[in-house]
């Protein structure tokens, strides 16, 4: 008899697209992630097991003979957890404290997969006649809960995933 086993975060986890848009003197990040989650993770989220996501952004000035120089580095943290009292999923931006209440696990995962208008860089830090590259990646942890609860949830064997870097040229 084969033991029942399911991957926690199954499928290809990746940054599908990303760009920076200038608005009112500040560059804002827009990114679309593929965040495939299994039925086991959906059940875990519905039972209150948290999901944490970090979005790392690096912006570097590209140089010919010297190593690239870092212009900006940012880590944005999100936390998704079910609130049994309100029967809603709460998505919290840990950097700003802003929270959003969502009605279903599907809408919560969909919302977590779309980053829109995140302010990341002041235009004054970028020079028009230079070349820059921006890179973004995502990291997901499912079940940042005490070890005793992880033992109970033994069927979820994939607690951490990290995407590859998605890199593009930033045109000032």
Within-domain flag for 131: no
Print the domain residue range for 115. 35-123
Q: Residue 33: beta bridge partners?
A: 15
Burial of 39 (0-12, 13-18, 19+ CB in 10 A): exposed
Q: Residue 56: beta bridge partners?
A: 75, 137
* CA distance to 82, 89, 98, 109, per residue, from 85 (Å): 9, 10, 19, 20
Residue 156 has pLDDT above 90, yes or no: no
Within-domain flag for 71: yes
Q: What is the pLDDT of residue 74?
A: 95
The CA distance from 81 to 141, in Å, is 12
Q: Residue 124: beta bridge partners?
A: none
Residue 2 has pLDDT above 50, yes or no: no
Within-domain flag for 54: yes
Q: Which of 41, 47, 46, 42 is nearest to 8 (CA)?
A: 41
Q: What is the pLDDT of residue 44?
A: 82
Residue 27's φ and ψ, nearest 5 degrees, are -80, 135
Give CA torsion, residues 99, 102, 104, 107, to 10 deg.
-90
Residue 7 has pLDDT above 50, yes or no: no
CB atoms within 10 A of CB 27: 23
Within-domain flag for 1: no
Domain count, the chain: 1
For the chain, the average pLDDT equals 85
Residue 155 has pLDDT above 80, yes or no: no
């Amino acid at each position: 008899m084969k033991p029942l086993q399911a991957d926690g975060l199954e499928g290809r986890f990746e940054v599908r697209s990303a760009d920076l848009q200038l608005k009112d003197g500040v560059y804002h990040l827009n990114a679309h992630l593929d965040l495939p989650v299994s039925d086991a993770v959906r059940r875990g989220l519905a039972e209150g097991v948290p999901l944490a996501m970090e979005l790392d952004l690096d912006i570097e000035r590209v140089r010919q003979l010297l190593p690239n120089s870092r212009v900006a580095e940012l880590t944005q943290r999100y936390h998704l957890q079910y609130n049994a009292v309100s029967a809603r999923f709460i998505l919290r931006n840990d950097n700003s404290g802003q929270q959003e209440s969502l009605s279903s696990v599907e809408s919560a995962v969909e919302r977590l997969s779309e980053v829109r208008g995140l302010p990341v860089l002041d235009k004054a830090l970028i020079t028009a006649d230079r070349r820059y590259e921006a890179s973004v990646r995502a990291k997901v942890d499912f079940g940042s809960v005490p070890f005793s609860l992880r033992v109970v949830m033994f069927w979820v064997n994939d607690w951490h995933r990290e995407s590859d870097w998605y890199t593009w040229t930033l045109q000032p």
